[in-house]
Structure 1
Amino acid sequence: MDEIARNNFLKKFSENRHTEQEHKLFIKWLESLPDEEVDALLEQYGDFFKDLPDEETANHPELFAKIEAQIDAAETEEASDHSIKPKIPFKKLIAVAAAILLFITIGIVFRNNLVKEQTITNNTNKITPGGNKAILTLANGSQIVLESAKKGVLANQQNIIVNKTADGKLVYDASQKQQDNAGLQSGYNTISTPNGGQYQVVLPDGTMVWLNAASSLKFPVAFTGKERNVELTGEGYFEVAKNKAMPFRVTVNHSTVEVLGTHFNIMGYAEEKSTNTTLLEGSVKIISGNNQKLIVPGEQARVNGEIEVAKVNAAQAVEWKNGNFNFSHENIETIMRKVARWYNVSVQYQGAITNEGFVGTVPRSENITEVLNALELTGLVHFKIIERRVIVMP
C-alpha cells in the first residue's frame, strides 16, 4: 500500500466513509509489514498517543487502556524472549494494536486540521470532477453538444447513423451503408472534449475510442480505400477492430501509430515532453519522420524527435479510463497538469517546489480537495485555492 493510498484511506476512516474491504486491505497491509517497519509505526504513533491531551483519551478510555496494555505486554514478552522461535504472533499483536491506534490518532490529526481543510473546501464549491462532456462537429460544420443531446439518433450521414446510447456513448452505425464503397464521398467528423470532459465513441468500423479531457479525434464518416486514418490531439485509448486489409493509423503530433487490431493508449498533449504510446495487446508500429519501431505489450514508445522504447506497467497508463488518477513517480507539475485538465482549473506555483516523484492512485470521481489533501499528506507540497485557481506551495 503506497503512501497516498494509505493516507487517503485513513482520511476516509476518520470521516467514517471507508468500506469494509478497504478496512480489511489496510489491516492485511499492516500485518504484512517487516518487524522493523512495525516498530517504526509504533514509535511514530505511540509517541503521539502518549502526548495526547486528557480530553482526547477520555473519549475512548477503555479502548486506549486496552491498546496500551496490549502494546506493553507484547513489548515486554518480546524483550524477554531469547529463544529462536518466530516472533510473528507478537508482530501481529502489535500490528493490530497499532491499527486501532492509527485509526484513533489519525482521526484526531484530521480533526485538529479541520480548519485548514475547511479553508480549501470553502473555495471549491464550484469545482467538481469532470464527466461525459464533448462536442461533435459533423461534416457539414454543424455542432452537437453531446452532454445535453437527447439519446437516440443524432444524425444520418450517407446512411451512417450516429446514435447517442442510453449510457451516453456515441456510436456510428454503418450497417445500412452501401456495400460498394466506390464513389462514396466520405466527410470527416470531429469529437472534442473540453477541460473537465471525457467521452467514448464507437467508430464506423467498430473501433472503440475513449477520449480523455482536453482531447479531440477527427475521423471519416465511413472508412474507404486501403487505410483507416484518424487524427488525435490530447489523449485517447483505442481498441481497434481487426481488419487485415485496412491498417488503422493514428496521427498525433507529427508521428503515426499503425496497427491492424490491438489495444493501446496514446498520450500526446502538446504541453507534455513526449508523445507516449503504451501497448496493452497486439503490436503497433511507431513512425516518426524516417524512424520507426515496433513495440509489444508492456512497452511504451516515447516520441520526442527520436523514438525511445521502455518497459512499463501498461495498466497504469489507462487508469484514467478506469476512473483513477495514477501517479507513478511523477513530479508535482506533471500531476497538476492532469488535475488542471480534469477539474478545469488553472495552476500557479509559489516558492521552491519539490522535484520529488509521487506514487499513488486516487479516484477521479473525488472532489478536488481529496486529491490535493492526499498529496499534502506526504508533507512535500501544500495548496491554496482561490476561485478556480490552485496555488501550489512548498
Structure 2
Amino acid sequence: MDYEKVRDLSFDELSGTISEEEKSWLRNAIREDLQARNIWEDIQRDSSRLLTDASDSFDQHPAEEVLGGLQQRRRRSYLLKVSSIAAACLLAMLGSWYLFSTKAPQPLAANDSTAHTIRLVTAEGKVIDLSNDSTGIRVDNAVLNNKQHTLSFDVSHQNGSGINTLTVPAGKDYHLLLADGTKVQLNAATTISFPFSFTGKTREVTVSGEAFFQVAAKAGQPFIVHLPGSTVNVLGTAFNINTYDSGVVKVALVEGSVKVASNRHDIVLKPGYEITTTKNGVSKESFDPDLVLGWRTGLYTFEDASLQELAPIIHRWFGVTIALDNARVASRRFFGVIDWNRPLEDFQHNLERADGIRSHYDQQGILHFE
C-alpha cells in the first residue's frame, strides 16, 4: 500500500482538487487497509478541528499555530488549499508562508579549497580526495575503492588498527562500508574516525555530526560509537546519531538495541525511541521518522522553525553561509520541507513571495536575508 499517496489524496480531497479516478482509488484503499483508513481519519479529524477553531485562534495566535498542525502533516512543498469558505478566508489572511528550499551549487565563503572536498586522512598522515570516483588506491596496508559515493577497502593483513579520519564537508554526503560489513551513511559536515580493520575485542569508531548506522552483527566483538560526552554500545542494529548542536547528543533507534552511556546515565533504547543527552540531563521519547531520518533521502522537515534555526541547516546542506540582517527576519517562523535535490533559489523565491523577505549574495558568497 502506498501510504504517501493515501496522505496526499486525503489532502486533495479536502481541497477539492481530487479527480474521480483518484477518489475511487482512495475509497478502495481506506476500505481495504486499516492503516490507510487511520491516515485518512486523522487528516479529516485534524482539518475539522482546525477549521472549527480557526476564527478564534487567528485573533490570539500566530498564523503558523492555526494551520501548523494540519500543514506539518503534508510533505508537499506548497500551501494546502482547503475547500471550505472559512478555510479560504483564513488562507487569504495568512498568505503563502509554507516554504521549501533545495540543493544547488553556490559560492562558498571559505578560501581553502580542501574544505569543500570529501577527504580521508589515513593513520599514516596521507590525504586522499574522495570527491570523485576512484578505485585501486593503495594506502598503508589497504586498497581503497571509492565508487558510487561510497568508500570501501580491502585490507592486505590484520595490521590496520591505526585510526583514519573521513571528513564530509558542508553541501555533501557520503557512505562508508567498514571492514566488518557495517554500513554508515554520513550527513553533511560530519567526521568519522575508524580503523581499516577491527583487531581487538571491540569494534570502535568516533563520530561528530550526523550519521546513520546499519551495524553488522558479530558475536563476541561489540560495536561501540564514541560521541561527544557519551558512548553508544550496539547490539546489532540500525540507528541514527546527531551531534550537530554543541553539548547535545541525539540517538534514535530504528531496529535492534543500543545502550547509550553518558557521564551519569546508562539507558537501553527500544526501536522507535530517541534519547537526547545534554548538560542538564537525559530525556527519552518516541520520534517521527520523517523528522529524524528524512535527511537520508535528502529531505529536512521543519516545524515552526525560525530562519535563525534554519540557517545552520542551509549552511550544512548547501555550503552557504547565511546572514540575517534584521530581527524580524531572524524570528519569522515557518513549516515546510527542505529538499536537498532542488536549487536553493527556490527557497529564496518562495520566501520573498510569501513574506517579502528578500535575499542577495555579497562579494564573499554570504547569502543575506533582509
Q: TM-score range by the shorter chain?
A: 0.5 to 0.7
Match of residue 173 from structure 1: 154
- 1:13-162 matches, within 5 Å, as 27-28=12-13, 30-31=15-16, 37-38=82-83, 39-43=85-89, 126-127=106-107, 133-148=117-132, 150-158=133-141, 160-162=142-144
Q: Secondary structure at the match of 2:124?
A: coil
Counterpart for residue 259 of structure 2:
285
1:366 has 2:337 as partner: no
- TM-score, normalisation: structure 2: 0.68
Q: Where does structure 1 differ by over 6 angstroms across 4 or more consecutive aligned residues?
A: 21-26, 44-47
CA distance in 2, matches of 1:390, 1:379: 17
Deviations 1:206-263 (A, max 9, x none): 1111111111100011111111111111111111111131111111112111102111
- Identity in percent: 26
- Do the aligned partners of 1:169 and 1:199 also contact (CA within 8 Å) in 2? yes
1:301 matched to 2:282: no
Distance 1:328 1:366 in 2: 20
**Counterpart in the other structure of 1:213:** 188
**Aligned equivalents of 1:293 and 1:377: distance in 2?**
47
Change (3 A) 1:46 1:349: closer
Distance 1:43 1:307, change over 3 A: closer
Unaligned runs of 5+ in 2: 1-5, 19-43, 52-81, 97-103, 109-115
- Provide the residue aligned with 1:57 in structure 2: none
- Is 1:392 matched up with 2:341? no
Amino acid at match of 1:307: V
Matched, 1:310 2:265: no
Query: Which amino acid letter does the alignment assign opposite residue 118 of structure 2?
Result: A
State the one-letter code of the partner of 2:253. Answer: L
For residues 155 and 286 of structure 1, what CA distance do their matches in structure 2 show? 36
TM-score of the superposed pair, with normalisation by structure 1: 0.64
In structure 1, the gaps of 5 or more residues are 1-20, 48-101, 107-123, 179-183
5 Å matches for 1:130-279? Answer: 133-148=117-132, 150-158=133-141, 160-165=142-147, 167-174=148-155, 177=157, 184=159, 186-269=161-244, 271-272=245-246, 274-279=248-253
**Deviations 1:32-88, CA, capped at 9 Å, x for gaps:** 8768652135447899xxxxxxxxxxxxxxxxxxxxxxxxxxxxxxxxxxxxxxxxx
Per-residue CA deviation, residues 271-301 of structure 1 (Å, 9 max, x unaligned), is: 4462211111112111111322111122111
* Structure 1 pair 146–293 and aligned structure 2 pair: CA distance change class (3 A): same
Q: For residues 391 and 239 of structure 1, do their structure 2 counterparts lie closer, same or farther at Cα, with a shift above 3 Å needed?
A: same
Kept after mapping to 2: 8 A contact 1:279/1:314: no
Mapped contact 1:127–1:343 kept (Cα < 8 A): no
Contact 2:106 2:318 in 1 (8 A): no
- Measured on the aligned residues, the alpha-carbon RMSD in Å equals 3.4
2:168–2:186 contact (8 Å) kept in structure 1: yes
Q: How much has 1:376 moved relative to structure 2? A: 4.9
